Amino acid sequence: MGCPHPGERECTELCGLSFGINRLAVTGTVGAVAMALVALGSALPWATVSASFLTASKNGLSGDGVITIILAAIGIGFFIVGATTKDGWAFMVGLMISIVILAIAIWDTVNVAGLGSESASGGAHASVGIGLILCIIAGAIGLGAGIDGLRGAVILAPRKQKKYSVTV
């Protein structure tokens, strides 16, 4: 199963086959993997509170992580659609989902950091967990993938030129 034409360029022009790496397929795959990492981060600890001899952690699924894991699952679907169809609207939805995930993760990080400063005077210490850090990093990667996919999918169609004829 190969192309009957001798060169790669001829095959691309005559058969429509391409042997290069498709940028939008890679961008969509990166976005989908980022959303999978958000889903993983949503199940990991988001906050850890430690006192003198006691340590407790709260994972994301007992709070806003439920929202981020649902958004991540939807985001995976849209990034896969963008990777396969090369349509800009799918990357736009993935971009918006990444923005919401980032907003939730940053909001919760600020809240946990605020608890850490309040509890430091009382002997307990609250710190941001690995799950929130992973959600922020993966959400930022998803944001970049959405921007890159949207930028790569937008192709300006040439305007149709009006043809005028002049007879003298």
pLDDT at 158 over 60: no
Query: Span 104-130, mean pLDDT?
Result: 78
Examine residue 9 and state whether it is found in any structural domain, yes or no. no
Q: Is residue 5 scored above 70 in pLDDT?
A: no
Residue 165 covered by a domain: no
The mean pLDDT of 114-129, rounded to a whole number, is 70
Average of pLDDT values for 17-38?
86
In terms of Cβ atoms closer than 10 Å to its own Cβ (0-12, 13-18, 19+), residue 5 is middle
115 or 25, higher pLDDT:
25
Mean pLDDT of the region 98-113: 93
Percentage, residues of the chain above pLDDT 90: 49
Give domain status of residue 15, yes or no. Answer: no
What pLDDT shows up at residue 157?
Answer: 36
Express as a percent the part of the chain with pLDDT over 70.
75
Compute the mean pLDDT over every residue in the chain, rounded to the nearest whole number: 82
> Which range of residues forms the domain containing residue 146?
37-151
Q: How confident is the model at residue 165 (pLDDT cuts 50, 70, 90)?
A: low
Q: Phi/psi zone of residue 142: left (φ > 0), alpha (ψ -120 to 50 degrees), beta?
A: alpha
Domain count, the chain: 1
Structural domain contains residue 25: no
Predicted pLDDT at 28: 94
At 88, is the pLDDT very low, low, confident or very high (cuts 50, 70, 90)? Answer: confident
The two structure tokens encoding residue 168: 């003298």
Domain for residue 56, yes or no?
yes
Give the neighbor-by-neighbor strand order of the sheet with 125-128: 55-59, 45-50, 125-128
- Residue 97 pLDDT exceeds 70: yes
pLDDT at 67 over 70: yes
